[in-house]
């Protein structure tokens, strides 16, 4: 092992040897190496070719990418603030360095000349040449010297502000806790109480402790009979990013202003137009029309539900349903109308059982096996696997499942290394991070179970990749296509044969009763009006934030006015308040003006899974093979062409509404 493990390539990252002090020298060396590689590329006396220009660019900056990926990962998963400090220090430097390097006129001139030659290339190569050229244009390669200088400063500024926004949320979630005495836990089942006890233990205290973990939030709001406790938790959740010491609102406004300036510098009327040009949707108008259709169906359903919930609440002397009441009375209504109680299901949904189920689905669909591997990990919670097809290792997979202090909330997939095969073949190194409350045993609610399958779908997108070039591999696809593999995988949680094979009672080992499964499946669309209203409302909010002149946006006031204009029921509200909308304001703005992608992809996944239902077999070999080909291709093929080849036709635009029970037919 070298003195600095970052400086050498490893198939499995040497997590156990990596320390904060290793990163600054790796970043400095990585920036220097990449600058030298780009200089050689620009100054190459040979005429530009795909190999000496595009492939040379693909092969550059490896040390820098490795260090950057690992730092982002550690800053999101480890409690030591040194990692967040490093991210805050280097994010703007790396962003500015990248902007300046990729805006060098000589680089664009070489790629522009190659594109003008219209060389004979394979489909993936032609797409890569075109996307590289368009990426440079959209980065500012055609700007004058002053414009390129300003663009580099904008990128640095956005990176700094986004890192600050992210850290503020992480700190707010870590800082808020609430001790809860035993007598206030009424309604919470044993596993929920155990997770609150575990949260207290992790923080060195006794008893039960509420935290701002998403799983805790959902569980307490749905099950706690203590209305005041629900209110306190909801208000703390909502207040993230608005506390005096951690106020994200000015930061968000500055991010919006820089994005608007970037878009206008490039000749676009607003950031939404800039962002959506490179998506399947193509324009803000298309997204607005799409969301409007979803919104109307969801809002109609949720208003009908509100009347039924209000009638239930009135029996408890509650005259007005508040946001902290909705999930509680919805759960009661589901038990009454559907005869389904999630507490009855949870003993069959242990984390161990559900992990085995997800792995079995991957094996039956795609012929891969995930085998435990003795590899270095970044935390004792983490489990590592080799991914095998036959006897060949095609990838490494890490799972970090449990909530803990200092870990970023939510759930995500990340690729520390993408598949590639254009020079030396490299296997993908992929991880899933969830935030499941630990129990003994750990039991999953439906939300956590779906999330586990969802993130595993993202992981399979990376692990099954056969793309030749890393920038086209795995999840490096059109933004509104990337959620298809994850969301379609959720359907297999309740697909025939899956829970029947894997859901076993944690105490008795008995298989899940067929009658309970039938009630679960019958309740599949229950409450979807609420879920789609809060989700599509946030997508509308995101789009509106990036269409409005930034100078007119004060986050809270803008959000309130939009909610009133939409007719957003106060008891529902936006899934994400602007002040803590991490999807939109962090991670390079991956979902900025693009949060709609979850529902866009939901049309594709609803229509796509319907093909298996029509075939009468959730593991139909021909369909599974075509779905595997869709995942493997990455961005080497046009996404709509991939979908048509899988489904045999274009997607049905009504598939989502029909599946959710929000459309007749």
- List the beta strands (DSSP E) in 183-274: 208-210, 242-243, 246-247
User: What local confidence, expressed as pLDDT, does residue 525 receive?
Assistant: 86
CA 447/CA 459 separation, integer angstroms: 18
Say whether both 510 and 650 belong to one domain. yes
Say whether both 506 and 619 belong to one domain. yes
Q: Provide, rounded to the nearest whole percent, the portion of the chain with pLDDT above 90.
A: 93
CA 511/CA 504 separation, integer angstroms: 5
Say whether both 27 and 132 belong to one domain. yes
CA 321/CA 570 separation, integer angstroms: 9
pLDDT of residue 665 exceeding 50: no
Domain assignment of residue 275, given as a range: 246-339+528-595
pLDDT of residue 105 exceeding 70: yes
Say whether both 375 and 498 belong to one domain. yes
Over range 61-66, report the average pLDDT.
Answer: 97
User: Given 543, 572, 595, which residue is the final one in a domain?
Assistant: 595
Over range 479-500, report the average pLDDT.
Answer: 97
Query: Which among 182, 110, 101 has a CA at the least distance from the CA of 148?
Result: 101
Local structure of 416: helix, strand or coil: strand
Over range 95-113, report the average pLDDT.
Answer: 96
Is position 119 within any domain? Answer: yes
Is position 158 within any domain? Answer: no
DSSP 55: I
User: What local confidence, expressed as pLDDT, does residue 661 receive?
Assistant: 82
Helix 326-338 crosses helix 284-314 at what angle (to 10 degrees)?
70
Is position 159 within any domain? Answer: no
Kindly state the helix (H) or strand (E) to which residue 412 belongs, with its residue range.
strand 412-417
Contacts of 576 (CB under 8 A, 6+ apart): 538, 541, 582, 583, 584, 595
Over range 512-519, report the average pLDDT.
Answer: 96
Burial of residue 256, with CB atoms counted within 10 A of its CB: 0-12 exposed, 13-18 middle, 19 or more buried: buried
Q: How far is CA 358 from CA 361, 463, 499, in A?
A: 5, 14, 10
Over range 458-463, report the average pLDDT.
Answer: 98
Contact 333, 312 (CB under 8 A): yes
Q: What is the pLDDT of residues 258-274, one digit of tens each?
A: 999 999 999 999 999 99
pLDDT of residue 165 exceeding 70: yes
CA 99/CA 95 separation, integer angstroms: 6
Is position 152 within any domain? Answer: no
Is position 169 within any domain? Answer: no
Phi-psi region at 187: left, alpha or beta (left = phi > 0; alpha = psi -120 to 50): left
CA 70/CA 512 separation, integer angstroms: 41
Sign of CA dihedral 247, 404, 9, 452: negative
Q: What is the pLDDT of residues 374-410, one digit of tens each?
A: 999 999 999 999 999 999 999 999 999 999 999 998 9
DSSP 12: S
User: Given 549, 567, 595, which residue is the final one in a domain?
Assistant: 595
pLDDT of residue 310 exceeding 70: yes
Q: Total structural domains in the chain?
A: 4
User: What local confidence, expressed as pLDDT, does residue 605 receive?
Assistant: 97
Q: What is the pLDDT of residues 223-239, one digit of tens each?
A: 999 999 999 999 999 99
Q: In CATH, what number is assigned to the domain containing residue 355?
A: 1.10.1370.40
Say whether both 329 and 288 belong to one domain. yes
Contacts of 186 (CB under 8 A, 6+ apart): 224, 225, 226
Contact 331, 639 (CB under 8 A): no
Is position 330 within any domain? Answer: yes
**DSSP-based helix, strand, coil % in the chain, nearest 5:** 60, 10, 30
Lowest mean pLDDT, pick from 9-13, 429-433, 499-503: 9-13
Tell me the pTM. 0.94
Residue 246 β-bridge partners: 243
Is position 65 within any domain? Answer: yes
Query: If pLDDT is split at 50, 70 and 90, which confidence band does 1 have?
Result: low
Say whether both 297 and 443 belong to one domain. no
Q: Which of 58, 96, 420, 455 is catalytic?
A: 455
Say whether both 258 and 330 belong to one domain. yes
Say whether both 394 and 368 belong to one domain. yes
User: What local confidence, expressed as pLDDT, does residue 501 receive?
Assistant: 98
Q: Residue 28 catalytic? A: no
Tokens of 349: 């949904």
The owner of tokens 């200088």 is 149
User: What local confidence, expressed as pLDDT, does residue 398 receive?
Assistant: 98
The per-residue DSSP string of 4-20 comes to SGGGS--SS--GGG--G
Over range 171-198, report the average pLDDT.
Answer: 94
Say whether both 506 and 544 belong to one domain. no
Total number of residues shown for the chain: 665
Query: If pLDDT is split at 50, 70 and 90, which confidence band does 315 have?
Result: very high
pLDDT of residue 121 exceeding 80: yes
Say whether both 424 and 359 belong to one domain. yes
Is position 149 within any domain? Answer: no
Q: What is the pLDDT of residues 575-624, one digit of tens each?
A: 999 999 999 999 888 899 999 999 999 999 999 999 999 999 999 999 99
Q: Across all residues in the chain, what is the average pLDDT?
A: 95
User: Given 578, 595, 612, which residue is the final one in a domain?
Assistant: 595
């Amino acid at each position: 092992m070298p003195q600095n493990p970052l400086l050498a390539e490893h198939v499995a990252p040497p997590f156990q040897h990596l320390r904060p002090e290793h990163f600054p020298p790796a970043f400095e060396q990585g920036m220097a190496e990449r600058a030298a590689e780009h200089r050689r590329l620009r100054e190459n006396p040979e005429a530009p070719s795909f190999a000496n220009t595009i492939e040379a660019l693909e092969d550059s900056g490896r040390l820098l990418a490795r260090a950057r990926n690992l730092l982002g990962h550690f800053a999101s998963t480890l409690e030591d603030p040194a990692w967040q400090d490093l991210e805050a220090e280097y994010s703007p430097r790396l962003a500015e360095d990248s902007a300046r390097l990729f805006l060098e006129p000589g680089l664009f001139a070489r790629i522009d000349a190659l594109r003008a030659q219209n060389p004979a290339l394979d489909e993936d190569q032609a797409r890569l040449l075109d996307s590289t050229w368009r990426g440079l244009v959209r980065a500012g390669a055609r700007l004058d010297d002053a414009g390129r200088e300003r663009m580099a400063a904008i990128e640095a500024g956005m990176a700094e502000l986004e890192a600050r926004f992210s850290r503020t949320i992480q700190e707010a979630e870590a800082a808020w806790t609430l001790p809860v005495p035993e007598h206030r836990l009424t309604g919470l089942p044993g596993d929920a109480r155990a997770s609150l006890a575990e949260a207290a233990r992790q923080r060195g205290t006794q008893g039960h402790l509420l935290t701002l973990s998403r799983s805790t939030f959902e569980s307490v709001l749905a099950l706690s009979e203590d209305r005041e406790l629900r209110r306190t938790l909801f208000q703390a959740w909502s207040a993230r990013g608005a506390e005096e010491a951690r106020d994200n609102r000015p930061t968000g406004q500055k991010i919006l202003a820089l994005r608007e300036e970037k878009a206008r510098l490039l000749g676009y009327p607003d950031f939404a137009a800039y962002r959506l040009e490179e998506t399947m949707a193509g324009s803000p108008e298309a997204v607005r029309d799409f969301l409007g259709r979803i919104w109307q169906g969801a809002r109609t359903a949720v208003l009908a539900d509100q009347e039924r919930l209000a009638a239930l609440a009135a029996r408890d002397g509650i005259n007005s349903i508040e946001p902290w009441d909705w999930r509680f009375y919805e759960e009661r209504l589901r038990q009454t109308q559907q005869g389904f109680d999630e507490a009855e299901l949870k003993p069959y949904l242990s984390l161990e059982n559900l992990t085995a189920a997800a792995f079995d689905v991957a094996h039956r669909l795609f012929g891969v096996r995930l085998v435990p591997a003795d590899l270095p990990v970044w935390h004792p919670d983490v489990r590592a696997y080799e991914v095998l097809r036959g006897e060949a290792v095609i990838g490494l997979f890490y799972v970090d499942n449990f909530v803990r202090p200092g870990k970023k909330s939510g759930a995500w997939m990340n690729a520390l290394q993408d598949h590639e095969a254009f020079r030396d073949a490299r296997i993908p190194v992929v991880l899933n991070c969830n935030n499941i409350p630990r129990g003994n045993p750990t039991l999953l609610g439906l939300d956590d179970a779906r999330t586990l399958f969802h993130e595993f779908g993202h992981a399979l997108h990376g692990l099954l990749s056969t793309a030749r070039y890393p920038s086209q591999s795995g999840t490096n696809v059109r933004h509104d296509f990337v959620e298809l593999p994850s969301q379609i995988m959720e359907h297999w949680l309740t697909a025939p044969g899956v829970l029947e094979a894997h859901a076993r009672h944690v105490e008795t080992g008995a298989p899940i009763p067929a009658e309970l499964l039938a009630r679960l499946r019958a309740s599949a669309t229950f409450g979807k009006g609420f879920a789609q209203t809060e989700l599509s409302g946030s997508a509308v909010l995101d789009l509106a934030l990036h269409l409005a002149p930034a100078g007119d946006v004060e986050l809270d006031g803008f959000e309130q006015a939009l909610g009133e204009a939409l007719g957003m029921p106060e008891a529902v509200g936006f899934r994400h308040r602007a002040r803590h909308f991490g999807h939109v304001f962090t991670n390079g703005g991956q979902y900025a003006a693009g949060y709609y992608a979850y529902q866009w992809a939901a049309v594709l996944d609803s229509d796509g899974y319907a093909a298996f239902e029509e075939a009468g077999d959730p593991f139909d070999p021909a369909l599974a093979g075509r779905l595997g080909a869709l995942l493997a291709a990455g961005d080497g093929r046009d996404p709509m062409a991939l979908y048509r080849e899988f489904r045999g036709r274009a997607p049905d635009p009504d598939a989502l509404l029909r599946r959710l029970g929000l459309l007749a037919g």
